[in-house]
Amino acid sequence: MSVVIPDPAVTDWVPMGFGLGGPIPNQPSCRVGNSASMAINNTATLTIPFNVERWDTDNIWDSGAPTRLTCRTAGKYQIGGTIHFQPLTNQAWGGSWDLQLRLNGSTVMNYGRSGGYSGGNGTTVSVDSVWDLKVGDYVEIVAANNSGVNGNVYQGSGWSPELWMNLIGGVPGPPGVGVPTPIVNNQFVKGVGGVAQWAPPFAMFQGSLTAPWSGSNQSTITLPWKADVAVTMSATIYSNAVGMSGWAMWWDGATQPNWAKMFFNEANSHKSLTASNIILGQAAGAHTLQPVYGYGSATSDANDFCSWVAIALPVP
């Protein structure tokens, strides 16, 4: 198998596959059928619609496009279909019943043909293929009656007409352009810095500050992409009174919900306190981080110290 490395300049999200970050959580697979026979007159061509979903683990079939199975997860697929043709009268020698397996409405992936049978008996034609699909590709089966007589696509529960596709694993095929919908954890990763990342990307930061804490005493974190950010900060504060005191974590000048607080048993003492916060959906670019005293009798002097770590995970 070949690895198709996408261009992150035009591909925002890159599919992951086996050996490239772990298995896909729900193996994409779908099979559909139809609950009724369909007329197909002589010389007619019919793209077969479906109305029975036997299973679908990846939103592959949509009743709004009933003829199609659409790839939602890029990769190498086993694809197949089968129908039973039923002539209404005896057909002449030399006629045929034909079935194509098509990609995106035009590319023929496989072709099946069967000769004539007497009226009522019919013939079954099946097609299958293995193909690299990208997100948004769709497959269909197209029947053609070249028998010389009118007929039906016979309905047989579970065997005619049927269409299926199953991801068979291995390295993903060509990726689609843009953000896939839905984005599934461990299934897609973000292209970073002009390079396709074949492992879940994240960024780690750490820093320190010296007191006293004030609005201008802050660290700067530069995010390479839009991200959720988890921050843990430890900082000392000074309290001149017995009681509960603490400090708040500021991100871009906004107070985060989890404060660092504790009860001071003695006045005029320093204590080290720790707080953690998760800040969601932060844009790429520079952001500020700092502790700010503001609870109880907390204050800060030149003896105080702060250290912090942050992990950023990309989000769409």
In a domain, 282, yes or no: yes
DSSP characters over 5-24: ---TTT-SEEE--TTTTS--
pLDDT at 199 exceeding the cut of 80: no
**How would residue 297 be classed by pLDDT, with cut points 50, 70 and 90?**
confident
pLDDT at 233 exceeding the cut of 50: yes
- The reply to whether 17 and 75 lie within a common domain is yes
Structure-model confidence comparison of residues 225 and 72, the more confident one: 72
In a domain, 1, yes or no: no
**How would residue 262 be classed by pLDDT, with cut points 50, 70 and 90?**
confident
Q: Which residue, 174, 173, 164, 114, is CA-closest to 140?
A: 164
SS3 content of the chain, % helix, strand, coil (to 5): 0, 55, 45
CB 164 within 8 A of CB 80: yes
The kind and range of the H/E element at 278 are strand 269-282
CB 22 within 8 A of CB 186: yes
In a domain, 195, yes or no: no
- The reply to whether 28 and 154 lie within a common domain is yes
pLDDT digits (tens, 9 = 90+) for 10-22: 555 655 544 444 4
pLDDT, mean over the chain: 81
- Answer positive or negative: Cα dihedral of 126, 104, 52, 72: positive
The pLDDT score that the predictor gives to residue 109 is: 95
pLDDT digits (tens, 9 = 90+) for 125-153: 999 999 989 889 999 999 999 988 898 89
- The reply to whether 34 and 173 lie within a common domain is yes
- The reply to whether 29 and 152 lie within a common domain is yes
**How would residue 105 be classed by pLDDT, with cut points 50, 70 and 90?**
very high
pLDDT at 107 exceeding the cut of 90: yes
- The reply to whether 60 and 175 lie within a common domain is yes
In a domain, 191, yes or no: no
Q: Which residue, 195, 255, 276, is CA-closest to 11?
A: 195
Q: Which residue, 171, 189, 168, is CA-closest to 180?
A: 189
Q: What total number of domains does the chain contain?
A: 2
In a domain, 177, yes or no: yes
Q: How far is CA 309 from CA 27, 44, 288, in A?
A: 36, 68, 13
The pLDDT score that the predictor gives to residue 103 is: 97
CA distance linking residue 210 with residue 290, whole number of Å? 11
- The reply to whether 73 and 110 lie within a common domain is yes
The pLDDT score that the predictor gives to residue 3 is: 41
- The reply to whether 19 and 116 lie within a common domain is yes
Domain boundary among 157, 185, 213: 185
- The reply to whether 38 and 125 lie within a common domain is yes
The pLDDT score that the predictor gives to residue 190 is: 59
In a domain, 91, yes or no: yes
Structure-model confidence comparison of residues 64 and 122, the more confident one: 64
Task: Name the residue range of residue 300's domain.
Answer: 203-314
The pTM for the full model equals 0.52
- The reply to whether 41 and 178 lie within a common domain is yes
pLDDT digits (tens, 9 = 90+) for 149-172: 898 898 988 889 999 999 986 444
pLDDT digits (tens, 9 = 90+) for 86-96: 888 877 667 88
- The reply to whether 107 and 38 lie within a common domain is yes
- The reply to whether 113 and 250 lie within a common domain is no
CATH of residue 158: 2.60.120.40
In a domain, 308, yes or no: yes
- The reply to whether 212 and 134 lie within a common domain is no
In a domain, 137, yes or no: yes
CA distance linking residue 306 with residue 206, whole number of Å? 11
